[in-house]
Structure formats: structure tokens, C-alpha cells
Amino acid sequence: MNNEEIFEEVKQQNRTALLEHESKEILRNIGVSVPPSKLVQSTEEAVNKAKEFGFPVVMKLMSANVLHKTDAGAVTIGIRNEEEVVEVFNDYMLRFKDVEIAGVLIEKMVKKGLELIIGTQDDETFGPVLLFGVGGVLVEAIKDVVFRMCPATKKQALSAIHEIKATVLLDGFRGMPKVNKDELADMIVKLSELAWENRKYIAEMDINPIIANEDGLFPVDARIILQ
Amino acid sequence: MVSKLENFFNAKTFCVVGASTTPNKPGNVVAYNFVHSFPGKTFLVNPRGGELYGQKLYKSVLEIEEPIDAACLIVPAKYAPQSLEECGKKGIKNIIVTTGGFAEIGEEGIRLQQQMFEIMKSYEINVIGPNCLGIYSPSLGFDTMFLPKSKLNRPKAGPVSIFTQSGAFGAAFIDQLSRLGTARWVSKFISYGNASDINETDSLEYVGDDPDTQMILIYLEDFKEGREFMEKAREISLKKPIMGIKANRTETGAKAGASHTAALSSNDAIVDDLLEDAGIIRVITWDQLEDCVLAFGTQPLPLDDRVAIVTDGGGAGVMASDMVSDCNLKLAEFSEVVQKKLDETFPSFFATGNPIDLTGSATAEDYRIAFEIIYDDPNVDSIVNLCIPVIPDLDISEYINITKEFAKRDKKPFVTALVGGDEADYASKELMKEDIPVFPSPGRAVRALGMLTDYTRYLQKHGIDPKQIDVEEGK
């Protein structure tokens, strides 16, 4: 499906929040690469996909009723073998038997790294603005973020990257991997363009965390909220 | 395309509607201003007729036979719609409504303003206001500021254009500039009040294109066209410095939302970053704004961030050094030749590093020698001249002359802080008579340099040579 079709479908179902697998499909559509993942409906399918991606994997429950997945215990990381895949799948089906579920998202687990956030927000004064900064669960506590207007140019994206206080962490701080700022800036530009071009649909967007490790940049969670 | 404000500032015939014969009433002051300063033709309107300042008072704009380019309405809010309608019928396309009592007072006012808006639309009138001071340009002779000169003094023509949402801020700042140095500061002043039509973005566009405007000073509380404003600012800030206050920093907090981004998107966090990204130097306090005018209006931009400090007091030097790092500046490391010369020239009890501490034994001549040695050092981008004039051997007149000379050399920014009582005040006043930037504390002097340097950095980031920007040219 193209982006507009996804937005329209979600609207028709009277939802304002895209599920993670839908948000990630949007990211793929605009050329932002995300870790390999697949929405599955059965234990067999889950096991097959896990084997295809290679362990360890992550499993997340996709449901319009469970938007704060971590809080609800609907995210399981570090799954190392087939038995654990089956166990987690069955556990989800049992615990969430009363809610409507779209399936289970099975995803190749990304190695640890620096956690970043790229977000957008349709501001009442400036229209779509983008946010870039230190991500993860502590994002609101750390507040090391910078705003730009959407759509941002690459130059603006690069200046945003240099403006956060933790910018030194991106340069290979104390043995940490160096972040490819060029690639990161491209990602910021693409997301800012997405928010601008789809401003009649997108109210808010959180790509958080984006894990930066020695292998590259990986958006591991994505949330898009519609107008 | 001609910007809306150009039509106001290009007007050749101007009409004051509500010209009052009662001294010091707003309608009287504005009539006085135009009759005495406006080089074009002024028409005065008062329904009672008669005469004012040797000019006929027309009973209605419709009685005037000649075409009118622009007008100022100074009538009570309840009569304003009718008055505006008559101006529309007369074919006046550019109108300033200074009167208050509209959207800012609540429901009834909002209704009146809406009524005005509809008349404005149907006659295609451009409106400044309501609830504002209107416009002021000493060189072009426009002055709709309805406060008499005995209360609100007027600065003279200069390089700075100002636009403001708040009329009270505008009045105070204009008055302030009238006693800042030679008072030669203002190119265009625009107070647009409730912004029923002309707003911050129109104002920015106009002064950005105006060849007589060398720097732009703003006071905003909110944006009517935020996105357009930032886009225009980004272009204009590469040609002339824009600085100012965006007040109302705490009113709008972040809205509750489903994402971290929404939770972090407080209005001011966004504004702050977007202003910086657009090259606008944001200041927080009123005194910083005056410091901006002094620094940008009299000194060249530095080419880099290395500061040299000359002082006669250790404490002042240390405080200035602290502010150097607070403002992301660096203390210059003198080049070898310069350092050697300093060491050889001064007695061993002077500190010849940076800050150069001439100590309590300093004479004015010592200041001159120090400045002469360091001024052309390629490692020095800007100079801070600190003086606590209480010391016994310092000839204050000589010190004043030396300071004037170096501040006027114009190759590097040179700022002065004079700290103390009557002697410091006296020296500051003497210097300010020639617009030599002098500040009452080391911190303010360094902070002024910090703002100049921030702008240099912004220009350099965008591939522009700061030498191209010359604000003083307009003086």
C-alpha cells in the first residue's frame, strides 16, 4: 500500500494511531530502512520468520487497544530460540485474549547503541516542525532536543545534529561507534518531508528510539498519530 | 510586488481623520506632527470643521477633492467602522487605526474589529492596527505616534528599523533611543498592534527590502504567520542583522499528546530553535536590546571569537573573562611578537597576559600603549576596554579621547565598560555623545561582543563574509 492508502485505511477504521507495523511500512515507503520485520498470525509463521531473520528476535503485540506496548508488557526482547518464540506468542494470545489484535510483529533484534529520536509535530503556529535529539525512554527527562521547521534542508538537519548538547556522543565518544551523520541527516530530511507532504494526515510522529550502533542506524520503534 | 507597507511609507498625500483642536489630545498631536514634519500634503478632518495649525479642517474625508494616499484614524472605537467606511468611499487604500478598544478588550471589541475587517475587505484597504502607535520615520516625515514630544521624545534618523506588537513597548523604546548617544538611530518604526491586517511578517518583509534599513529590531508576543515569518527571516538575516524579543515565553506550555515529540513541543522551545535557525538573535531582557543597538549600530562585526581584555582592575578582568566563556567566546592568545612587546613595554607588576591588567597604577597613556600594541594582532578579533576610573593617575579626559580613537578605528569591534560612580558616569556620557559603545558593567560589554560574534558565526556558517555587513553605513 502507498502512504495515502495506509492513512485512509486507518481513518476508515476510526483509528487515529497507526500501529507500529503500519508506521514502519510508511518508513520503508519513503526509503528509511528499518530492521527486517513481519506481522505474523500463528506460531508456525512466527518460528519461520524468526529463523529467516536469525536470532535473537523481538516480538511485539500489534493492537489498536495497546498503544503503550512496553507498559502493557507487549514487547519482548532477546528471544533466542524457537521454543521462546512459541512461548511468547502463546503468552500474548492468553494475556490479550480480550482485545482485538492485528497480529504479532516479529523483528530482527538490533544490537545496543546510542538511542536517538526524530519526531514531528503539527504546531499551531508553524505547521509541521521536526524534533531531533537524544531518544529512548528518558527523552522527556533529558530534553536534549532541537527543533526545525518541516521540510528541513540537509544543511538544517546537519546543524540540528550539531546543536544537541550530546553531539559529542555521535563522534565516537569513549569507544562508542561513530554515527554516520550524513545518513542521519538524510533520515531527518526524509521524515521532515513526510510530515510536510502529509500534513493533512499526520499530527504527530515519534521515531524513537533510533539505535545508532557499529552496523548503522536502525529505527526500532515508530509511532504516527493522525489528525 | 509592492509590499503593503511600501504604500504607507511612499504616501505623498496624508489625511489625519479625527484631528483635534484640544492641545495634546492624540488627534491634535498627530495633526501637529504631519503639518510640521510631513513633506507631502497633509489634510485634516474634524466633523466640526474650522481650522487647525493654519490648515482647513474638512468636515469629512469625502469633502476633500484631491486623492489621498494614506490616512490615520484617531476616532473612538465605536465611530471607527463608519469612519473607515467613509475612507473606503473616498478611495483611501492605506489606513492606520491607532485607537484601542477592539479585539484586546473582549467580545464587544472583537465584534467591532470584525466589522472593521469586513469594511477593509470590501474596499480593499490595507490597515495598520487597530490599537497601535502606527508608523514613524524621521527621514520621511511620518509620525502617527499620538504622544506629544514633551512626553515621548523622538530619536533622529539612523540605520535601525523597529517593528513591535506592543505599542507601549514601542513608545518606551523609541523614547529610550531618543536619549541614547546622538539619538541618530531610527529608519522606520512600525507598531501594528492587533494586526487585523498588517502583521509581523509584512513588517519584516518591508524593512528587509528597505535599502535604508541596516538592522532590524523586533518585539513580538506571538506570530500571525509564523512559518512565513521564519522563511523570510532566513533570507533577510543573511543581509542584515535581525534581533529582538519574543516575549510570552511561559504562557503556552506543551500540549498533551500521544507522543514524546508533542510532550516536548512547548511553544517557546520551538520558537527559540526556529529563531536561531533563521538567524535571528534572540535577547531576553530590555537592556540587552539597547546594548544590541549600541554594538551593532556602531561597531564592525568581528571576524572570529578571540577577545582581548584590557583592564585596570583584576576583578573586572576576571568577571569579563567569565562572561567570555559564558558567551562561547575565547580569550585571545597574543601572537609572539605582540606578547614580547607587551612584556618589554610594561613594568613587571602589570599582568601582560590576557586580560592585560594595568593595575591601579595605570595612566591613560598605559591604555593607549596597550591598545596600540594589541589592536593589529591577527590573533585578536575584538577588544574589551575595562576601566574603573577611581585610580589616582588616570587622566579621565585623556582616557576618553583614547577610547574614542580606538572605538572609531572600525577594523575590530571595540567595547568599553566604565564601572563606578560619578567619574564613570561622566566618562560614559562624554563617550556616548559620539556613540562610542560604553556599558555599565564588564558583563554587558562582553555580552554585546557575544551577540556580534554570534551573528558572525551565523553568516560564516552560510558562507557569507561578515565584512560585507555594515550597519553603520546608515548613520
- Average pLDDT along chain A: 95
Q: What is the DSSP letter of A174?
A: G
- Is the reported ipTM for this assembly greater than 0.85? yes
- Out of B226, B231, B277, the one facing A125 most closely (by C-beta) is B226
Which of B222, B258, B274 lies nearest to residue A225, judging by beta carbons? B258
Are the Cβ atoms of A159 and B277 closer than 8 angstroms?
yes
Confidence at residue B252, expressed as pLDDT on a 0 to 100 scale = 54
CB contact under 8 A, A147 and B273: yes
Q: How far apart are CA B48 and CA B65, in angstroms?
A: 18
Q: What is the structure's pLDDT at B386?
A: 98
Q: Which of B260, B277, B458 to mutate to test the interface with A (most CBs of A within 10 A)?
A: B260
A164 and A217 in a single domain? The answer is yes
For B69-110, the pLDDT digits (tens) are 999 999 999 999 999 999 999 999 999 999 988 888 888 889
Cα separation, B388 vs B73, whole angstroms: 52
Which residue in A16, A115, A121, A143 has the most chain B C-beta atoms within 10 A of its own C-beta, making it the best mutation to test that interface?
A: A121
Asked whether residue B197 falls in the same domain as residue B327, the answer is no
pLDDT of amino acid B251:
58
**CB atoms A143 and B264 under 8 Å:** yes
Q: Is residue A57 part of a domain?
A: yes
Contact across the interface for A126 and B270, Cβ inside 8 Å = yes
> B43 is in which domain, residue-wise?
4-213
Q: Which of A57, A92, A108 is the last residue of a domain?
A: A108
Q: How many domains does chain B have?
A: 2
Residues B17 and B140 in one domain: yes
Q: How many structural domains compose chain A?
A: 2
Q: Determine whether the interchain pair B261/A131 forms a contact, defined as Cβ–Cβ distance below 8 Å.
A: yes
Query: How confident is the model at residue B301, as a pLDDT?
Result: 97
What is the Cα B253 distance to its own chain's centre?
A: 28
Q: Report the amino acid identity of residue B26.
A: P
Question: Would B77 be classed as within a structural domain?
Answer: yes
Residue B258 lies in a domain: no
Helix (H) or strand (E) holding B29: helix B26-37
My answer on whether B205 and B309 are in the same domain is: no
Higher pLDDT, A121 or B474: A121
> For chain B, which residues score pLDDT lower than 70?
1, 251-258, 473-475
One domain, residues A118 and A222: yes
A87, A108, A129 - which closes a domain: A108
Residues A137 and A171 reside in one and the same domain: yes
Indicate whether B204 and B332 sit together in one domain: no
A104 and A141 together in one domain = no
In chain B, what residues touch A139 (CB-CB under 8 Å)?
260, 264
Q: Residue B1: what pLDDT?
A: 65
| pTM, to two decimals | 0.93
- Among B223, B257, B258, select the one facing A125 at the smallest CB separation: B223
pLDDT of residue A175 exceeding 90: no
Question: Residue A134: enclosing H or E segment and its boundaries?
Answer: strand A127-134
* Confidence at residue B259, expressed as pLDDT on a 0 to 100 scale: 75
CATH of residue B8's domain is 3.40.50.720
> Using an 8 Å Cβ cutoff, are B292 and B281 in contact?
yes
Task: Let me know whether A123 and A216 are in one domain.
Answer: yes
Q: Verify that A43 and A124 share a domain, yes or no.
A: no
Residue A85 clears pLDDT 70, i.e. is over it: yes
Which CATH number goes with the domain that contains A61?
3.30.1490.20
CATH number of the domain that A158 lies in?
A: 3.30.470.20
Are B392 and B316 within 8 A, CB to CB?
A: no
Interface test with A, best of B229, B249, B259 (most A CBs within 10 A): B259
Separation of CA B320 from chain center: 25
Is A18 near chain B, with CB under 8 Å?
no
**pLDDT at residue number B371:** 98
Contact residues, A window 96-125, toward B, CB-based 8 Å cutoff:
117, 119-121, 123, 125
The residue of chain B nearest to residue A67, with distances taken between CA atoms, is B258
Which chain A residues are within 8 Å of B262, Cβ to Cβ?
121, 204
**8 A C-beta contact, residue B128 and residue B8:** yes
Q: Which domain holds residue A48?
A: 36-108
Q: Please, how many CA atoms are within 13 Å of residue A187, restricted to the half-sphere of its CB?
A: 27
**pLDDT at position B282:** 96
Does the residue B30 lie in any domain?
Answer: yes
Report which secondary-structure segment, H or E, holds B121.
Answer: helix B107-122
Same domain for A172 and A88, yes or no, is no
A131/B264 CB distance under 8 A:
yes
